[in-house]
């Protein structure tokens, strides 16, 4: 029996290209689809999530796709109107999916997505087991209108159950250090290699129209808070400067809502209002955004965060799920004995209870502490205006080498 199970697993491993954790990261080409069309696609994904265990997370176009973390790229470069069956190539980091303009309705999009998911399973793959399939078995007499048939839902759920459970499965709880005395491991260096700003200097500029806005003052204050607590420097420039930086942040009235995680080559244009203000009551939003600029993930995105908080995915705003995904274990520091850093609810990078919430006006939450006596953690998460001791040590350890390079360069001058 064990050999048979191993053989079935081997077939699925070789032939299947299942989306890890049952999460399909997708991006839509804005040049091919107008806002209304993009909303139709996103809302169809939202409805499909209620029928199958697979989730669809909208991601930025600069998402770093890999062979393990592929991205579904939705486009229509040939401006096609119809949607004939196509072969999906899972051998590349980017899986292309075209939706013709006459197919921009929920039923046709569902059909196309079903074909894409079936292609990820492969022709020779078998469901994990009959027990897993029965877990999702449909009640035959159901009046609920659905996009997929019962057999299609059972097929996808039967093959994806194990992957879907990995999204919410709590990792094995490892030893936690009681103090913040961490070090940078080889795995840490590999993870942060392309995320740290050279010499610990973040170059930024501003549209002249924003200099008098309160949002600019708020961002400037947050930069000062980080500079006083670390070796990192935020250096401004103007368009009149003789030497223009190649890699910079640009704050304007329009731009991206959230910065890229870490260093990004080229000009990254950010909306100053979205950088200054987040969810209602999220007073640490600007500091959190700047920590993201420095390449430091949110505390509430830790690989083991499900031991400390619960993510209520149904309350997360559509197309914002990506910001609440767990990050690789390699992002988190440990001490010399291999003990992980303590979970820090007081970190400025911790999400508030209403982070990325679709509608939390009646007290709904997206992030809920597992244990919370008298709501103390709920009321404090994301509300600190100063870096915690853990935040300071994290920046110091990660940027120590880059700052030393800057100091050595200044000394030579």
> Same domain for 18 and 154?
yes
- Residue 209 domain-assigned (yes or no): yes
Residue 210: count other Cβ atoms within 10 Å of its Cβ. 17
pLDDT of residue 202: 97
222: left (phi over 0), alpha (psi -120 to 50) or beta: alpha
CB 387 within 8 A of CB 223: no
Last residue in a domain, options 122, 141, 168: 168
**Given strand 94-98, what is the order of strands in its sheet?**
55-58, 23-28, 71-75, 94-98
Q: Which two tokens stand for residue 204?
A: 């930024």
pLDDT of residue 360: 87
Cα distance between the two ends of the chain: 71
pLDDT of residue 141: 43
- Residue 200 domain-assigned (yes or no): yes
CA dihedral 193, 195, 201, 203 (to 10 degrees): 140
- Residue 343 domain-assigned (yes or no): yes
- The pLDDT > 70 percentage for the chain reads 86
CB 268 within 8 A of CB 279: no
> Same domain for 210 and 342?
yes
Last residue in a domain, options 112, 137, 168: 168
> Same domain for 309 and 243?
yes
- Residue 158 domain-assigned (yes or no): yes
Q: Which two tokens stand for residue 56?
A: 């669809």
Last residue in a domain, options 109, 139, 168: 168
Could you report the per-residue pLDDT of 64-89, keeping only the tens digit for each? 777 778 999 999 999 999 988 888 98
> Same domain for 195 and 148?
no
> Same domain for 137 and 195?
no
> Same domain for 159 and 251?
no
* Domain total in the chain: 2
> Same domain for 189 and 69?
no
> Same domain for 101 and 200?
no
> Same domain for 371 and 341?
yes
Q: What's this model's pTM, rounded to 2 decimal places?
A: 0.78
pLDDT of residue 169: 65
pLDDT of residue 130: 45
Q: Which two tokens stand for residue 97?
A: 């999916």
At residue 345, φ and ψ (nearest 5 deg) are -65, -20
* Domain extent for 133: 2-168
> Same domain for 101 and 208?
no
- Residue 119 domain-assigned (yes or no): yes
Domain CATH number, residue 142:
3.40.390
Domain CATH number, residue 408:
3.40.390.10
Distance from C-alpha of 408 to C-alpha of 53, rounded to nearest angstrom: 53
For the chain, 413 residues long, give each residue's pLDDT as a single digit of tens.
444 334 433 444 434 578 988 999 999 999 999 999 999 999 999 999 999 999 999 887 666 777 778 999 999 999 999 988 888 989 889 999 999 999 999 999 999 999 999 999 875 455 444 444 444 444 444 445 889 999 999 999 989 988 887 766 666 555 555 555 789 999 999 999 999 999 999 999 999 999 999 999 999 999 999 999 999 999 998 877 777 888 999 999 999 999 999 999 999 999 999 999 988 888 899 999 999 999 999 999 999 999 999 999 989 998 888 899 999 999 999 887 778 888 999 999 999 999 999 888 888 999 999 988 888 899 889 999 999 999 999 999 999 999 999 988 776 66
CB 397 within 8 A of CB 232: no
> Same domain for 190 and 308?
yes
Q: In the 3-class helix/strand/coil scheme, how is the chain assigned residue by residue?
A: CHHHHHHHHHHHHHHCCCCHHHEEEEEECCCCCCHHHHHHHHHHHHHHHCCCCCEEEECCCCCCCCCCCCEEEEECCCCCCCCCCCCCCCCCCEEEEECCHHHCCHHHHHHHHHHHHHHHHCCCCCCCCHHHHHHCCCCCCCCCCCCCCHHHHHHHHHHHHHHHHHHHCCCCCCCECCCCCCECCHHHHHHHCCCCCHHHEEEEEECHHHCCCHHHHHHHHHHHHHHHHCCCEEEECCCCCCCCCCCEEEEECCCECCCCCCCCCCEEEEEHHHHHCCCCCCCCHHHHHHHHHCCCCCHHHCCCHHHCEEECHHHECCCCHHHHCCCCHHHCCECCCCCECCCCCCCCCCCCCCCCECCCCCCCCCEEECCCHHHHHHHHCCCCCCCCHHHHHHHHHHHHHHHHHHHHHHHHC
Q: Which two tokens stand for residue 262?
A: 């870490």
pLDDT of residue 10: 41
> Same domain for 413 and 312?
yes
pLDDT of residue 240: 78
Distance from C-alpha of 110 to C-alpha of 108, rounded to nearest angstrom: 5
pLDDT of residue 230: 96
- Residue 359 domain-assigned (yes or no): yes
The residue among 61, 95, 26, 55 whose CA lies nearest residue 260 is 61
Could you report the per-residue pLDDT of 313-359, keeping only the tens digit for each? 989 998 888 899 999 999 999 887 778 888 999 999 999 999 999 88
pLDDT of residue 131: 44
- Residue 179 domain-assigned (yes or no): no
- Residue 174 domain-assigned (yes or no): no
pLDDT of residue 134: 44
């Amino acid at each position: 029996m064990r050999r048979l199970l191993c053989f079935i697993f081997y077939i699925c491993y070789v032939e299947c290209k299942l989306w890890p954790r049952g999460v399909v990261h997708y991006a839509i080409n804005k040049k091919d689809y107008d806002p209304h069309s993009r909303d139709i696609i996103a809302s169809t994904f939202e409805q499909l999530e209620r029928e199958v265990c697979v989730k669809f997370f909208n991601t930025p176009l600069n998402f770093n796709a890999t062979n393990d973390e592929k991205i579904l790229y939705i486009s229509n470069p040939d401006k096609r109107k119809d949607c004939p069956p196509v072969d999906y190539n899972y051998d590349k980091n980017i899986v292309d999916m075209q939706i013709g303009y006459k197919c921009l309705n929920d039923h046709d999009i569902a059909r196309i997505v079903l074909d894409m998911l079936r292609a990820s399973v492969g022709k020779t793959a078998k469901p994990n087991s009959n027990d897993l399939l029965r877990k999702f078995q449909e009640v035959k007499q159901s009046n609920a209108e659905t996009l997929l048939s019962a057999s299609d839902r059972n097929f996808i759920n039967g093959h994806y159950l194990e992957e879907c459970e990995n999204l919410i499965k709590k990792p094995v709880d490892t030893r936690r250090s009681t103090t913040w005395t961490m070090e940078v491991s080889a795995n840490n260096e590999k993870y942060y290699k392309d995320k740290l700003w050279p010499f610990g200097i973040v170059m930024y500029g501003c549209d002249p129209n924003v200099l008098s806005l309160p949002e600019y003052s708020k961002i400037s204050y947050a930069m000062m808070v980080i500079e006083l607590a670390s070796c990192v420097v935020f250096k401004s420039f103007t368009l009149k400067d003789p030497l223009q930086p190649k890699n910079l942040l640009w704050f304007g009235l329009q731009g991206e809502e959230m910065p890229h995680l870490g260093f990004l080559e080229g000009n990254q244009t950010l909306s100053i209002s979205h950088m200054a203000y987040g969810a209602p009551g999220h007073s640490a939003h600007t500091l959190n955004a700047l920590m993201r600029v420095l390449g430091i993930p949110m505390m509430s995105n830790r690989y083991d965060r499900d031991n400390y908080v619960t993510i209520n995915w149904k309350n997360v705003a559509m197309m914002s799920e990506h910001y609440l995904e767990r990050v690789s274990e390699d992002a988190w520091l440990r001490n010399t004995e291999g003990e992980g850093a303590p979970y820090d609810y007081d970190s400025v990078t911790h999400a508030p209870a209403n982070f990325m919430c679709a509608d939390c006006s009646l007290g709904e939450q997206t992030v809920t502490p597992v244990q919370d006596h008298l709501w103390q953690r709920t009321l404090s998460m994301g509300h600190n205006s100063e870096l915690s001791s853990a935040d300071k040590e994290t920046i110091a350890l990660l940027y120590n080498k880059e700052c030393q390079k800057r100091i050595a360069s200044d000394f030579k001058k």
